[in-house]
Each structure stands twice: as structure tokens, then as C-alpha cells.
Structure 1
Amino acid sequence: MSSEHHRRPTATAPTAAAADPATGRLRVGAARADITPEDLTGLHPMPGEFSGVHDPLFLRALYLDDSETEAALVSLDLIEAGDVSEVRRRVESELGIPADHVVVTATHTHNAPRIAGVSPGALAHAGGPESFAYTEFVYDRILAALRTARDTARPARFGVGTGSADVNVNREVYADGRWSLGHNADGPSDKTVWVLKFEDLTGRPIALLVNYAVHCTVAFGTSEISGDLAGAACRHMEDVLRDDGSPGAVALWTPGPLGDQAPRIDLGVAFGVRPGERQKELAYAAMAAQGLMVAAEALRVARGLGDLDPAVRLGARQRTVACLVKPGQDVMETMRQEAADTVPLRLSLIRIGDVALAGVSGEVVTEVGRRLRERSPLTRTILVSLANDRIGYLPDDARFDRPVHSVNGCPVRRGYAENAIVDGVLDMLAGRPAREHRGGPA
């Protein structure tokens, strides 16, 4: 199934005025909203309950308009968002932004709730009634934030650059005859910090969009609400931008190919073990430090960008690929997988000039992200994991020869995920129809 649009349809709600060609085609708006839950009961997707709030959770919204095409991206300080088709439809109905021009992702902080339902066949932590009530709260905040971003959009310029931060490490370790999660310094790891900068025509930043590949699990196990590494990074960037004279600037975090990437320093206690206060203090210090490292590098890259472009063209597409299901193995007891023959792999594309934001609805591993980048006709192709759904881990085909965590937690049969992601994004970039994929053994 494929749903794709390029140009602005007839809006069902008022939209921002078209850009003045004399001042710049691109218009950009951004907004931030607090989504910290007041009642924590029943919201922990892992075993146990949240005991309190260490730092608040936010959603950050980015609105883009080139006078012919609108697109929106929302980043949530949550562990994951399931099938968010409902809120994307609401965005189209209430704001006039096409549903398939909207991408919703999560920073993947493990010290936060999940929202939305689990797609049939997906491997995810299904929520209860409290989770669905919280989902509606977040959906309302998404609509409000996008409305603010759209209504405050102004002529803008755009630029992109890359840096590097060594705060992630491959986490699939082979020792004592078995595979486990840990730190594998010799394993593949992408250190790239992607930075997309949007500023108004006076040079004041509107938004920074950062993409980096790491699990936000530094403070996982403290049982306290936290934005973790990504939240710390975004707060630091926004504080610096505010001090520099841009009080409304927003920093959005998007997860890269993080399926096999851990933070270098984390809480360091076994899952289910109650940490002491000193251990928690050290974990939060490590969270702030590693977040600062990524944020500082992103700010350095943003400041070093040359002339930004006010006349970039936008494009947006989405499609869904039905992949044969593989049952999960040795997964957590809270993981649920509804019986189904196929599971929907959702792909999205937001193109900003010669930059492609390629969204994938799961936790993609390093090799798949690398293969996509090598084969893409656009050298600036940025993979965004956990986009518009979270169906499970999405490893490369070669990894199926090893019983690693990303394979055990993958709901897709070998031969589907890697090819469907790479071919699907390339086909969307080229405007080609979806192709059929044939997987291997379950």
C-alpha cells in the first residue's frame, strides 16, 4: 500500500500564508510543549512503576512550507510511539497538513511512557488503559504544538552539516559462548551527528534538528521519569540558543540507526536491581555529560555553516510494506506480539532540498543505515528510526545468522526488513512504485 503526495492539497483548515518569493520561498515554524504526565500510574512500559519525575518530558514540533508543499515532524521524549495514524489524520483534518506529510518519532528514552497501539504482528510493550488515556493527552499536545508552529512560521533559510560524537558504542557482545547486551568497542558504530539548521532571514535560529544513533538508556533502571541523554542534549541546545538571543528556538532530537547502539556510560546495574542514591546520582551526571557532548558538537556544526538557502523545495511521501512475520524469541515478558501473517513496515520521506529524512517504523541497526546512505543518490540521506510506529528491531539480513538481541526482537522474517527499507526509500526518492520482497525462512 502506498500513499504519496507532492503538492499542497485543498486545505480543510486555514493554513499559513504562502511565502513571498521576494523574501524567500521557505517558511518554518517550531514549538515545544510539556508532556510530563501528572499521574504516573500504569505508564511504565517495562515491569514496575515510575516512582517520580527527575526531569520533564517535552514534545518538539517542526513545520515546513515552501508555498506549495507542507510537512511536519514531531519528536517526543518517549520510549516509543506505536501506530500514530490517528493523530496524523487529525493533523490533516484540523490543520490541513496531509497525513502522509507528517512524521512522528520518539527519542527512545527508556525512562518515559509509550503511546498508541501495537500494530498486529509487531513486538512492543503493549499499554493498558492508562497508556491510552495518556496517548490522547499527547495527541492533543501534538495538535496544539503544530498549530502554534504553523501559525508562527516565517520566511527562513536552511543549512545542513555533520559532526562527530563518541558517546555511542555497539552493544552486541559475544562472550562465554553466548551473545548478550553490553559494550562492544570493535562492533560497527556510526558516530555522525547530523545537524539541520533553520533560521529566519535576520539570522536568528528557529530550530535545530539533530540526528544521532544511540539508545537513551543512561538512567534506565532509576524508575524516574527523564528525557535521558536526548532530553539533556535538547535542553542544553535550547538554553544556549536562548542566551544567544533566540528564546523561541527549538532543538529536536531524531534517533538514527540505534538498534545496536548503547551509550558509553550508563547506570550500570542489572535490570530489575534497585540502584542506590549514589548510583542514581552518577547515572544522571553521565546523562548530562553525554547529552552535553552531542549538544556541543551540534551547536559547533550549526555555527560553522556557511550561507543558508532560503529557496529549498520540499517533498513528502509515505508507504507501507507488508512483511511476513517472524515470532520473537527470548524477549521481555511485557512484550506482546499479536498473531498475524504480516506486519506493516512504515516508511516515510521528507525531502528538504538535497536532504532526505528517511523514516522507518522500528529500531534500525547500523549496517542498514550505512547501506541506505551508500546507495542513495543523495549524499545527505538521514535515517530516522521509530518513525510513525515501532514494530520492533530491524536488523540487516546477515545478522540473522547470530542469535543477537536485535534478531530475537525482530518481528520481520529474514529477507524483508533490510531490502524493504533500502529499496523502499530509494524508490520513493525516484518516484517509483513499491516493489515486492520475498523473505527467507522464519
Structure 2
Amino acid sequence: MSSEYAERPVSDPSDGPYAHAPTERSLRVGAVKADITPGDLTGLHPMPGEFSGVHDPLFLRALYLCDGDTETALVSLDLIEAGDITPLRERLERELGIPADHVVVTATHTHNAPRIADVSPGALAHAGGPESFAYTEFVYDRVVAALRRARAIARPARFGVGTGTADVNVNREEFADGRWILGHNAHGPSDKTVWVLRFEDLAGAPIALLVNYAVHSTVVFGTSEISGDLAGAACRHIEDALAEDHDDRDEEAVVVWTPGPLGDQAPRVDLGLPFGVAPDARQRARAYTAMEAQGLLVGAEVLRVARGVRDLTPAVRIRAEQRTVACPVKAGRDVMATMRQDAVDTVPLRLSLIRLGDVALAGVSGEVVTEVYQRLRARSPLARTLLVSLANDRIGYLPDDARFDRPVHSVNGCPVRRGYAEDAIVDGILGMIEGRPARTRAGGAR
């Protein structure tokens, strides 16, 4: 690995005051934030071209949870996507003892950041070169170190849930001038819900907030500069506010952003900077102003919801599971030339579940659209069912079956044949929530 990826070690407090295996049969939580900004930007842009510089740093945020019996971890990366993350999950099991199927890794989906990991067979994604794989190993090292630290500092905690609303997303599949484009469809389905999971210590100080919201972080796409974009700005605003509220703490609260059903959701204010053409100074400044403004709107709502969460409890039972469903492959259509898709019969759709009492964090390894989540939430026996897109892989877009009647972006970029992904997602996640046996291959089209 090149030296630029070894400049910022994560400390390992394995001999610290919380450095012992969890034994108490109540909730313990640890959270860590670590810088993953690449030192060398060469070859890391997942789209054609190169990154020209760094506007704001990229981070990983790691959340460790244990109920005294079951350990689980959720990691959010300020990246456009992570491919097949199985090698990292298996490494975490080997080195830390956290079961691989209890680990969920997602990305904030900022398009001004690299991708990591390999492309799963049949998936429709940008393939990285040698520089990308070197950066992948750097990120893996940071994740392992961060979770080791989070586990070491985990302390007795309690947990609560709240929801709010933020109107900074909009359906982006628009019919204009006789064709479907990526635009601004104010009448299309759009879930405005902001989910907030609050984890605090027994003295009431926040340890972490888990945020779930459905929006592409593409406000500054086109600047060619490294940035956490909308999700990164929101997390920064929230973490700064929490630090001001508790400036006497040794460990700062961490905000873990998880992408909801964002497959058809764009930022409400997107200046449409032309990709591949350097914007002028005024365009760039307006783009970053729009990024900060929308990040502030989501961040302010998260803080309002978090401060109003009541009935927090330390008595949280954790259950975690993962399943993989083999789905028949559909070739991509009208996709970017840098997209890779192997000629295979099936593509692995990876599903995950982290259940915290009556709260379900349901992970799906692609960009899920609004209607699929609406169907899942309507059928789930748990009212508090959240969907996390881009979980443990990114195989492509995952639209609902009805969408295949239209040549929209999410259908063109979907690697799964019609009649399979929607049922596999809904039935698979419901099966995990309800404890039903797994199906390893998707059923036939409806």
C-alpha cells in the first residue's frame, strides 16, 4: 500500500477503561469517527476524469452495539458506494469476533468521493483500478481500527427513536420533451421522513445519532472536488451542535448517516453543474452554498427530533441476520461506458437486518426506490421499519416492478430482471423480521 494511506493512524485504546468483552445483559454503545480523505487523488474518481482537490474531508462513522449477548456494528462511509464488502466483514469477524452477518456497511452516496471494493458478478457498477483497490485496503484498515476503538469505549447506554420531516428531496424521474430524464418531478413519490435513533449514556449525554433519509448527495456533483456533499454537511452541522451542547466530554457524539430509499430522489436544489466541464468560481460558490443550506435544513430537523426523543430504554434486545438472494440478471441500458457488468446468469441481492427491540434497520445492496419501501413498510409487522440502501454492496438501481413500463434511469441501471427484485426485497426482509426460513433464489415474475 502506498505511503499516503498510512499517514493518519487511528488510536487503539484496547487497554482503556471500557476494554473488556461485554457481559452485562443491557445495552452498551460505542461510536467513533475517523478521517478517510485520500492523500493521493489519482485514479480515484469513479466517473471519467480526476478529482482536482479537496473541498471538505471524508469520514467513516462506526457504531458498535451490544445487548450483553449479541454484538453488531453499523458503519457509514462518506463515499459514493462500496461494492462487495464481504472481505471486510469477514476480517472484522476474524480480528474482533463480531460475526460477519452482524455487520452492515453503507455509504452516504456522495458523488464527490471514491468508491471502494470489487463489483459483484452481474452487478452494474463503476469498476475501480489499482488505485481504487489500494484505497479500499486503507479504508478497511480504518474501519477495523475504528470499530476496535468503538468496542473498547462502549459504555452502558439507552436508546430511543423519533421521526421528523425534511423537504430537501424530490423525485428525479421526470417526463419532459417527450422523454424520461433525470430532472425535478414535484408530483412523483418522495418520502420526506427523517428517522433519528438516539443513543445516550446513562447520564443523558449523547453517544451517537443514527439518521436515515432518502436523498442523493449530488448537490456539488460537477465541481470535481472531494466533498461529503449534502449528507456530510448535515452530519457536520449536527456534530458541531452536539459538541457545543456537551463541550466538557472526552468523546464527541457521532452522527451516522444512512441512505434511505434514494434510488429516485434528488436534492431539491441541484444547480446542475455540467459534469466534465470545470465550473467557474461563482458556480462553484453557489453549489457549496446550496449544499450547506440543505445540509443545515436536514441537520436542524435531526437535532429537533433528537432533543424531543422520550422513553429511552437500556433494555434493548438485538438480533442481526443477513441473506443473499440470487436474482436473474438484466443487462444495463444507456449506462455510462465506465459501468461494468459481468456476463453471468444471476446477481447476488444482499439483504441485512439489525433489529433493536421493535425497530428494524433493513439493509438492501442497491439503490432502492420509494415505492419498494412503501410496500415494505406497509407490510412490516414493525411500525418502525427503516430501509438502508447501499448496504454491504451496490449492485445497481432496484426499482419496483411497475416502473419497468417506463424507460427511466432506475430501470436502465437495474441489473435484475422484472418481477424479481421487489418481491425478493420485501419478502426477504419480512422473512428475517418474522423469523421465517430463507430463500436463496428469487421466485418467478408475477
TM-score with structure 1 length normalisation?
Answer: 0.95
Match in the other structure for 2:6: none
Counterparts of 1:24-423 in structure 2, within 5 Å, are: 25-245=26-246, 246=249, 247-423=251-427
Amino acid at match of 2:45: H
1:285-344 per-residue CA deviation (whole Å, 9 max, x = no partner) reads: 100010111111011000001121111100000000000000000001111101110000
Contact 1:15 1:96 in 2 (8 A): no
Match in the other structure for 1:425: 429
Give the match's secondary structure for 1:308: coil
> Would the alpha carbon gap of residues 52 and 378 (structure 1) be closer, same or farther in structure 2, given more than 3 Å must change?
same
| Distance in 2 separating the partners of 1:303 and 1:48 | 43
- The total of aligned residue pairs comes to 425
Contact 2:263 2:398 in 1 (8 A): yes
Amino acid at match of 1:134: Y
Amino acid at match of 2:87: E
| Distance in 2 separating the partners of 1:97 and 1:269 | 43
Higher mean alpha-carbon deviation, 269-278 vs 203-212, is at 269-278
Amino acid at match of 2:398: L
1:15 is displaced (CA, Å) by: 7.5
| Distance in 2 separating the partners of 1:371 and 1:288 | 33
Amino acid at match of 1:128: G
Structure 1 unaligned residues grouped into runs of 5+:
1-13
| Distance in 2 separating the partners of 1:334 and 1:309 | 48
Contact 2:220 2:273 in 1 (8 A): no
> Would the alpha carbon gap of residues 230 and 285 (structure 1) be closer, same or farther in structure 2, given more than 3 Å must change?
same
Match in the other structure for 1:6: none
| Distance in 1 separating the partners of 2:22 and 2:228 | 36
Amino acid at match of 2:81: E
Amino acid at match of 1:190: D
Amino acid at match of 1:438: G
1:177 is displaced (CA, Å) by: 1.2
1:67-105 per-residue CA deviation (whole Å, 9 max, x = no partner) reads: 110000000000000001001001000000000000000
| Distance in 2 separating the partners of 1:428 and 1:269 | 42
| Distance in 2 separating the partners of 1:409 and 1:198 | 37
Contact 2:24 2:67 in 1 (8 A): no
1:434 is displaced (CA, Å) by: 2.0
RMSD between superposed Cα atoms in Å? 1.3
Identity %, equivalent residues: 79
1:113 is displaced (CA, Å) by: 0.1
1:138 is displaced (CA, Å) by: 0.1
Contact 1:229 1:288 in 2 (8 A): yes
| Distance in 2 separating the partners of 1:47 and 1:237 | 33
Give the match's secondary structure for 1:64: strand
Give the match's secondary structure for 1:251: strand
| Distance in 1 separating the partners of 2:75 and 2:20 | 18
1:215-240 per-residue CA deviation (whole Å, 9 max, x = no partner) reads: 00000000000000000011111111
1:284 is displaced (CA, Å) by: 0.4
Amino acid at match of 1:402: R
Which one of the candidate residues 418, 425, 442 is aligned to 1:437? 442
Give the match's secondary structure for 1:170: strand
| Distance in 2 separating the partners of 1:272 and 1:192 | 33
Structure 2 unaligned residues grouped into runs of 5+:
1-17
Match in the other structure for 2:10: none
1:440 is displaced (CA, Å) by: 4.0
| Distance in 2 separating the partners of 1:42 and 1:257 | 29
Amino acid at match of 2:443: R
Contact 1:220 1:267 in 2 (8 A): no
Amino acid at match of 1:116: A
TM-score with structure 2 length normalisation?
Answer: 0.94
Give the match's secondary structure for 2:33: strand
1:431 is displaced (CA, Å) by: 1.3
1:42 is displaced (CA, Å) by: 0.1
Contact 2:358 2:382 in 1 (8 A): yes
Higher mean alpha-carbon deviation, 237-246 vs 81-90, is at 237-246
Contact 2:33 2:146 in 1 (8 A): yes
Contact 2:158 2:199 in 1 (8 A): yes
